[in-house]
A and B are shown apart, each in its own frame.
Chain A
Amino acid sequence: MSGSHQAGATVKARAELALNDEFLRKAVKFTTERLRNGKKKASEEHGNWDEWRERGKQIRLHTIAHLDYYLNLFVDNARANGVHVHFANTAEEAVKLTLDIAEHANAKSVVKSKSMVTEELHLNHALESIGVEAIETDLGEYIIQLAGEMPSHIVIPAIHKNRYQIAELLSKEAGYTLPPDTTALAGFVRKKLREKFLEADIGMTGCNFAIAETGSMVLFENEGNARMVSTVPKTQITLMGMERIIPSWEDLEVMATLLPRSATGQKLTMYMSGITGPRRAEDADGPDEMHIIIVDNGRSLQLGDPEFQELLNCIRCGACLNACPVYRHIGGHAYGSTYSGPIGAVLTPSLNKNIAEWDDVANASSLCGACYEACPVKIPLHDMLVYLRRRKVESGNGSKLESIGMQGFATVMGNSSRLGGVLRLGKLGQKLVVRSGVIRTKLGPLKGWNTYRVTPSLPKESFRDRFDTLDQELKQGLKQMDPAMQSRMEQLVQQRKNNGDSGKGGHGHG
């Protein structure tokens, strides 16, 4: 499974590979910029974007708060429609259920439409292990399957590859040289996959939304492959995370407004399919047998956890990846798991109980908040990254060196005279390293910083040294405050008193 960019044990090591890969960085920048601009345009044209985000958030909050109820409703309705519904607590259970269905159907091949949850379960390998061929039919997924890699983006799995690299991969598959021309390449894949669709015994899909009120599942896609997957083969298996539920078709309107715009800047994807059960007698096509496997695999760990429950609100649009300045430089494989970018940095550790193991991923963020700003359901990912770091420290898994440093920080910053002392020492010590007002040495702790920058030196006087003189100078001849200004300030103070100093002073929305 591991491609070249999954090597390396830490996010730092993996990021270094990406940072040295000019092709990758160029490809990722090019496409994330296109998607980000598309989203910006689509949300501006839509108008009232923030109101819709808030609606989306409320729908997700409500659904997750009553997930047991809506899941039951969905399952009852889906069963009434003739769907076989299965529950899987773990990845192993989900894989076993899938393999059992495949064996029961005597399947030789499975065609798949794009599904992150099947990536999470590493289902293709499991199928291959029992001799069933699994073929990805989404163009991006097909490319990374040929390359033997993981998706490096939630929506655009092969975002890290340019068309020359893709032409090379597909030429190998074709047995002749294909031109690096997008139309020609897509044409080759279409022809190739057409045969596979017709031969396949099972069609496998993910699920963007599951509608509780009718037991239906909804797929958003652009290539038409999911429609083929869900109509041609005799058996359909749908894998869905247990949190994919929304209550009603009315709620879907909000999600259908938010998802495509956030993902690709489209008003709507080319295809949006709603599937309610297997083929009925009067239907022209569709599977005779339909299975839905509802997967937990760590999701219920977030239920009831006030700091992380909102993670379950995610609709997998990938907008946070496109907005993220870190993802922009290191791409998805550096995150080291199925889910990448800001959502991956939080989701991967959260789906696994062992927070310690995943710590370095949570550190790969400058906490700039672009992910939160981009998120169509307003998940505070930047806060969650800090909570992850805190849990790691509190569980005693923090770095020893950092822990000592932070104790030093608390000692110095816990008392202003100690801070004053440290500054005086610093002014003496820096004499050894300051040249022309800056420090350029790459020794010790300054190595990382000074590889890309210079460090400013401490001035002769700190502000606290200087204030008294400044204050005395200014107090002489200080003019009277403008009465209007003064009364506005007094009003604000009064207002605060009336509110009982309850915080949220009306400035800032932190």
Chain B
Amino acid sequence: MKVSLFITCLSDAIYPRVGEAMVRLLAKYGISMQFPTVQTCCGQPAFNSGYWKEARESAKTILDAFEDSDFVISPSGSCTGMIHHYPKLFENEPVMLKRAKALESKSYEFTQFLVQVLGVTDVGAAFPHKVTYHPSCHGSRILGVKDEPLALMKQVKGLELVPLPFAEDCCGFGGTFAVKMADISGAMVTEKADHVLETEAEVLVGLDMACLMNIAGNLRYRNEPVRVMHLAELLYEGVKEA
């Protein structure tokens, strides 16, 4: 059984700790994650900006990387969501289209895999902190990942989950949107961070480092000490401490 890590370029480059937490957590269940190094980026920045030729160049590395995998797990609903767009991206290339559909059917976001495939909700973690959760748009809307992270957090001992007001509103990242429409994006992330602060949570948790980088960037800009983590990190830290 080949379980592969689709690290995503962002976690690879900036947040390797998220990949490490995933790999360590799954090792607890006897899963040795494989990491094909030919993978780069899912191609979303180019795809969403309308540069599909360029997106295909990048997407091909993902198709190559996971050709032989049985399960492809990523720490991002957005990047896994991008794989769901591959059939459209390669709709005019029959061979690639077949590979794209095959990859789509075996790709999972991290909590989706943990809960839906492994059937795990209690990882045996303790995390005695006040936590709020931002559900990222692509994970929850494209993949339908809504209950999985909540089920996992519910089993964490000592974790107090405080609802985030307007949780389902986008944080304003949107890839190149944050650069092209910087002021609109800035207004959105500022409001999102305001809501995080309203909860008085010590920790903001999520399933997508792009959104979390955006919100954390704003919190840090304002010198707010809220800790921002991926759920995989929180769970792994909680397991160590339990």
Interface residues, chain A, with chain B CB atoms under 8 Å away: 11-12, 15-16, 19, 325-326, 328-330, 363-370, 372-373, 386, 388-394, 398, 402-403, 406-407, 409-416, 419, 423, 426, 438, 440, 445, 447-456, 458-459, 461-467, 470-471, 474-475, 478-482, 484-486, 488-490, 492-493, 496, 499, 501-505, 507-510
| Chain A residue contacts of B137, Cβ below 8 A | 366-370
User: Which one of A11, A330, A367, A455 has the greatest number of beta carbons of chain B within 10 Å?
Assistant: A367
Q: Is there contact, CB below 8 Å, between A414 and B60? A: yes
Is B182 on the interface with A (CB-CB < 8 A)?
yes
| Chain B residue contacts of A486, Cβ below 8 A | 1
CB distance from B43 to the nearest CB of A (A): 7
CB distance from A335 to the nearest CB of B (A): 12
| Chain A residue contacts of B14, Cβ below 8 A | 456, 458-459
Q: Is there contact, CB below 8 Å, between B217 and A325? A: no
Q: Is there contact, CB below 8 Å, between B142 and A369? A: yes
Residues A369 and B141 in contact in the complex (CB < 8 Å), given A456-B14, A496-B106: yes
Determine which of B28, B85, B172, B182 lies in contact with A366 in the assembled complex, contact meaning CB atoms within 8 Å: B172
Is B162 on the interface with A (CB-CB < 8 A)?
no
| Chain A residue contacts of B189, Cβ below 8 A | 452-453
| Chain B residue contacts of A465, Cβ below 8 A | 16
CB distance from B102 to the nearest CB of A (A): 4
| Chain A residue contacts of B100, Cβ below 8 A | 503
Is B119 on the interface with A (CB-CB < 8 A)?
yes
Q: Which of B178-219 contact A (CB under 8 A)?
A: 178-191, 213-214, 216-218
Determine which of B29, B87, B221 lies in contact with A481 in the assembled complex, contact meaning CB atoms within 8 Å: B29
Is B101 on the interface with A (CB-CB < 8 A)?
yes
CB distance from B239 to the nearest CB of A (A): 14
Cα-based distance from A438 to B213 in the complex (angstroms): 12
Q: Is there contact, CB below 8 Å, between B31 and A363? A: no
Is B121 on the interface with A (CB-CB < 8 A)?
no
Determine which of A329, A373, A455 lies in contact with B217 in the assembled complex, contact meaning CB atoms within 8 Å: A455
CB distance from B2 to the nearest CB of A (A): 10
For B151-177 the 0/1 string (1 means CB < 8 A from A) is 000000000000000001110111111
Q: Is there contact, CB below 8 Å, between B50 and A449? A: no
Q: Is there contact, CB below 8 Å, between A463 and B37? A: no
| Chain B residue contacts of A447, Cβ below 8 A | 182
Interface CB pairs A-B, < 8 A, 8:
A367-B175, A409-B51, A419-B41, A454-B217, A471-B35, A474-B27, A486-B1, A507-B116
Q: Is there contact, CB below 8 Å, between A449 and B182? A: yes
Q: Is there contact, CB below 8 Å, between B186 and A416? A: no
Q: Is there contact, CB below 8 Å, between B180 and A363? A: yes
Q: Is there contact, CB below 8 Å, between A368 and B32? A: no
Of all chain A residues, the one with the shortest Cβ separation from B87 is A503
Cα-based distance from A504 to B103 in the complex (angstroms): 10
Total count of chain B residues near the partner, CB < 8 A: 99
| Chain A residue contacts of B150, Cβ below 8 A | none
CB distance from A217 to the nearest CB of B (A): 35
Residues A448 and B178 in contact in the complex (CB < 8 Å), given A423-B13, A490-B1: yes
CB distance from A30 to the nearest CB of B (A): 14
CB distance from B49 to the nearest CB of A (A): 6
Q: Is there contact, CB below 8 Å, between A508 and B217? A: no
| Chain A residue contacts of B94, Cβ below 8 A | none
Cα-based distance from A471 to B217 in the complex (angstroms): 31
Residues A510 and B181 in contact in the complex (CB < 8 Å), given A326-B188, A416-B38: no
A451-B183, A481-B29 known; 10 new pairs, CB 8 Å cut-off, are A16-B183, A325-B188, A369-B141, A402-B51, A445-B179, A453-B186, A504-B104, A505-B104, A508-B142, A510-B143
Q: Is there contact, CB below 8 Å, between A504 and B105? A: yes
Q: Is there contact, CB below 8 Å, between A326 and B186? A: no
CB distance from B179 to the nearest CB of A (A): 5
Is B81 on the interface with A (CB-CB < 8 A)?
yes
Residues A414 and B181 in contact in the complex (CB < 8 Å), given A368-B174, A452-B186: no
Q: Is there contact, CB below 8 Å, between B32 and A501? A: no
User: Which one of B12, B24, B106, B214 has the greatest number of beta carbons of chain A within 10 Å?
Assistant: B12
Is B71 on the interface with A (CB-CB < 8 A)?
yes
| Chain B residue contacts of A390, Cβ below 8 A | 50-52
Cα-based distance from A461 to B15 in the complex (angstroms): 10
Q: Is there contact, CB below 8 Å, between B142 and A453? A: no
Q: Is there contact, CB below 8 Å, between B172 and A325? A: yes
Q: Is there contact, CB below 8 Å, between A501 and B98? A: yes
| Chain A residue contacts of B170, Cβ below 8 A | 325, 366, 368, 370
CB distance from A296 to the nearest CB of B (A): 28
Query: Closest 9 CB pairs between A and B?
Result: A366-B174, A448-B182, A453-B217, A503-B101, A505-B105, A389-B50, A510-B84, A481-B30, A368-B170
Determine which of B105, B108, B116, B217 lies in contact with A503 in the assembled complex, contact meaning CB atoms within 8 Å: B105
Q: Is there contact, CB below 8 Å, between B57 and A505? A: no
Q: Is there contact, CB below 8 Å, between B105 and A502? A: yes
CB distance from A462 to the nearest CB of B (A): 5
Determine which of A365, A453, A488 lies in contact with B117 in the assembled complex, contact meaning CB atoms within 8 Å: A488
CB distance from B172 to the nearest CB of A (A): 6
CB distance from A237 to the nearest CB of B (A): 39
| Chain A residue contacts of B76, Cβ below 8 A | none
Residues A365 and B71 in contact in the complex (CB < 8 Å), given A409-B46, A454-B221, A481-B30: no
Cα-based distance from A143 to B209 in the complex (angstroms): 45
Q: Is there contact, CB below 8 Å, between A493 and B70? A: yes
Q: Is there contact, CB below 8 Å, between A453 and B218? A: yes
| Chain A residue contacts of B29, Cβ below 8 A | 481-482, 485
Residues A414 and B40 in contact in the complex (CB < 8 Å), given A19-B183, A454-B217, A508-B144: yes
Of all chain A residues, the one with the shortest Cβ separation from B189 is A452
User: Which one of B14, B116, B213 has the greatest number of beta carbons of chain A within 10 Å?
Assistant: B14
Q: Is there contact, CB below 8 Å, between A503 and B102? A: yes
Of all chain B residues, the one with the shortest Cβ separation from A505 is B105
| Chain B residue contacts of A480, Cβ below 8 A | 30
| Chain A residue contacts of B182, Cβ below 8 A | 447-449, 451-452
| Chain B residue contacts of A459, Cβ below 8 A | 14, 16-17
Q: Is there contact, CB below 8 Å, between A329 and B188? A: yes
Cα-based distance from A366 to B44 in the complex (angstroms): 12
| Chain A residue contacts of B45, Cβ below 8 A | 409
Cα-based distance from A227 to B142 in the complex (angstroms): 42
Q: Is there contact, CB below 8 Å, between A463 and B19? A: yes
Is B118 on the interface with A (CB-CB < 8 A)?
yes
Q: Is there contact, CB below 8 Å, between A19 and B187? A: yes
Determine which of B19, B53, B187 lies in contact with A410 in the assembled complex, contact meaning CB atoms within 8 Å: B53
